[in-house]
A and B are shown apart, each in its own frame.
Chain A
């Protein structure tokens, strides 16, 4: 039984990170109706930034998040301005392929620059853990879960309480109506892509002490991100948070109960079931 609770708890912790990735993709989808296939690659960029900030400047990955967020926000907004804004009226399939192309460029440019060798970021607490009532909790995962929770709360406040946040939500609900109300939709797109990119990169930085860092690491996270986004209902922040935790727990429990090789199969099977029986997502039709 302890093993089971242990699995659930570590699932929740990693689920918090997944939620962060999913929320980013969900906001991008909500505002622009684009599935961002480069999402995992942006996460990978965050991992490398965190790695080099640690290796060269000695900045702790949990602190470097503060540097990574503005950089990757600007990067996301730039991607939106240069590439995605030209494609807003194109076929959804072509938008998807564009982001696939951008992702390929990111991962392969990184491979050219830093080779495909695995990098490991080892901090003093990388393998530290706390034991509570017989259940051990990985320290870096617990810290990143707390940071994730903080960021999610902040984001929720931003989206519901500030003018810009409300403008983003309005654009997500109906871009044309928002434009008629005087909202600069293209600008909202840039902000949304900026936030999405920053969230993905933050997730990358937060997991950098516990994961291998290599240029192709992104695609696995892209797949997870869209599983989460679809489960939560495309465009819903609350949904993506719940979806992320569900996926984290599913993964962790099935790797204990079945085997770690099959855990992703279970995740994709759950995903297909959701697509088939509740295609609007677990949270129904609500957006953001």
Chain B
């Protein structure tokens, strides 16, 4: 693809996304877009440690959950507005990432994966047990958000989804830009050298522990911000929705499906996954099946679909991952690149 053409496509997409709220009114469409941006943010930030540096952390729920909990607790208990509280969350996330890094980066390959899971599980269980702070398994509910003001002027009161849309859009763009800049800087070259061959990189004078920690901290910061955003957007946090192993796994799967180690992989993965899973979760697909008339809503099978299809989204994740790993291990983006280069060769 010519780079001028792709730049034009990029600008048009951004413009379309910017004006999207002018033309679309359905809050449901907003919801999907916000979740899509959120998934892109966490996927892109995971990609920095997992894709570029080759350290498959399956414990990113620790950072997501910490960002979410700190933002929420500060808002509920200390009345600190979330756009300030999230930075306290980021500070804590950095500390946690450095602690996790100092433990886990002594280990390589599958051992690192297991250690990252163990640490995230310790965090989740702590969130369950520190009841005075986190309200345990019941979670924390926030029914209203303070209005966002600058110098007495109310900018937005967060009643509609529009402010959330723009916040998440900006965060997603910033995350992708940062990932791009990191990838094409000296830092990014060191990350990739470690991914390709840690010992060779070490021999060339790259300190693997330092650069792995750097990658983890950058990755954790954006994951933590995304967690804080998610907490105030949904207005609810509990260990199962922000700290569980499922969250860590989903973050990785989005990247795998889109294409690990590529800039647009997490975005593509999110575009493929988020709409399907959300449509299943909100029973849109079951209703669509009823509309076609193939299955009646009252039949035995119909009521089965209605009750269970909402839970099928994780099944879709599983099937997609198995298919992608078996048939296009470089993900959709890698697969498309392969096709593209074949096509070009065919022409030349």
Contacts and interface: CB of A to CB of B under 8 A. Distances in A.
Residue among B115, B126, B128 with the most chain A CB within 10 A?
Answer: B115
Contact of A104 (B106, B317, B326): B317
A102 B322 contact: yes
B125 interface: yes
Given A105-B319, A111-B311, A268 B111 contact: no
Given A93-B56, A279-B107, A112 B119 contact: no
A92 interface: yes
B113 interface: yes
Interface residues on B, range: 35 or more
Interface stretch (A121-129, A140-148, A222-230): A222-230
A101 B322 contact: yes
Nearest to A111: B311
Given A98-B326, A115-B307, A272 B315 contact: no
Interface in A53-74: none
A105 B252 contact: no
Interface string B97-118: 0000001001101110111011
B249 interface: yes
Nearest to A271: B118
Chain B at the A interface: SS class: helix
Interface in A81-115: 83, 86-87, 90-94, 96-98, 100-105, 107-109, 111-112, 115
A257 interface: no
Nearest to B323: A101
Nearest to B54: A93
B325 interface: yes
A272 B314 contact: no
Residue among B103, B110, B321 with the most chain A CB within 10 A?
Answer: B110
Nearest to A112: B308
B319 A112 contact: no
B128 A261 contact: yes
Contacts, number: 112
A279 B106 CA distance: 10
B133 interface: no
A101 B122 contact: no
A226 B319 CA distance: 24
B303 interface: no
B27 interface: no
Contact of B308 (A91, A115, A223): A115
B318 interface: yes
B72 interface: no
Interface of B: 56, 103, 106-107, 109-111, 113-115, 117-119, 121-122, 125-126, 128-129, 245, 249, 252-253, 256, 307-308, 311-312, 314-315, 317-322, 325-326, 329
Given A102-B322, A108-B311, 10 more contacts: A86-B326, A91-B329, A97-B252, A100-B249, A101-B322, A104-B321, A223-B121, A230-B111, A259-B129, A272-B115
